[in-house]
A and B are shown apart, each in its own frame.
Chain A
Amino acid sequence: MPKRPVVSLLLALFCLVAPWPSARAERAPIVKMDDPVVLSLGARLRCPVCQGMPIGESPAPMAQDMMREVRRLRLQEGQSEEQIAAHFTERYGTWVLLDPPKQGFGLVVWMLPPAVLMLGLGAALGSVAHKRAVAAAQNRGQNPARPQGTTPQTQADAELLAKVRRQAES
């Protein structure tokens, strides 16, 4: 009986570790096959005939041809990542980059979400402050009989003042 938990644990461990060699066998060649710059560009460049898909992930012949061209420019001509990215933007425009460049109209795309968030936050804080000010003004409006220059200093003072007023009125 005491051995059963140990056996179960070993079996569970085996199940976890068993797929490891095959998983490694599937992933390792991709990393080894391609230069890191080629992999990076495969993720950065848009497939022209797909819906927002990078060329490195698309099975479309056009995307595969573009990946082949990226490899050629990198491995045969020794171009840098930015040179290859420029090679494609000269032909397809900045549209071919999945991340818009942080300049010109692309900068607006990057700046707009945080700007709108800040504006929304400001508007929300302003609204809360405005509501508090209105509530405070209404509270002041409910006790209008306080004479000028006689602001009560404590709760006890205020209660005493109210008591005196009631007695005076009666």
Chain B
Amino acid sequence: MNLKRALMLAALALPLLVALLSGFGRDPHAVPSMLEGKPAPPWVLQDLHGQQVALADGQKLPILLNFWATWCYPCQAEHALLQETAAALQGRARVLGIIYNDSVEAVAAYVAKHGAAYPQLIDPNSRVAIDYGVAGVPESFIIDGDGIIVHKQAGVMRPEILHRYLAPLLADAPPPPLEKGP
């Protein structure tokens, strides 16, 4: 192979190599979030008891906002952790559930059986879900006291995620569920 041909092949292969290398280190399952680092879209929704709840209600407390449905098995899997987190963080952070594409009756029955430590909010026509760029459930958003989205978790919430993103936002020591993390 002469030098000219080798150089031509290298020139063709280089961009391809750069494109492939740039993909290494990325999580192929990660869904990019356009909203991280940006203000959380505001909303006012009703809970299962007809009470109005707003994003801005919490006196600058960090928020764990969870989009979920009772028909979604991964959502059921994370429910216990969210219950535990909500109970442990009472008064220090807000845990809120937004019902995605599910009936109020199904959610009411589910939380009556599995625990209702945090409010479940009704999102007519999934408007808030679309506003947050939700592409499936479960998806959770960790929002700081200034209303900025710190992290979007696509998929089941895990203790290490809470430990990494929510714990630093708390004014005092990490709560018990976060101790499960690394």
Contacts and interface: CB of A to CB of B under 8 A. Distances in A.
A91 B126 contact: no
B130 A66 contact: yes
Interface string B97-141: 000010000000000000000000000011101111111100000
Interface size class of A (residues with CB under 8 A): 10 to 19
A158 interface: no
Given A61-B101, A62-B101, A65-B125, A91 B130 contact: yes
Provide the main secondary structure of the chain B interface.
loop
B133 A92 contact: yes
A7 to B, nearest CB: 57
Contacts of A140: none
Contacts of A49: 135-136
B171 interface: no
Interface of B: 12, 32, 34-35, 101, 125-127, 129-136
Contact of A91 (B34, B101, B125, B136): B34
A69 B125 contact: yes
A62 B132 contact: no
Contact of B132 (A61, A65, A69, A91): A91
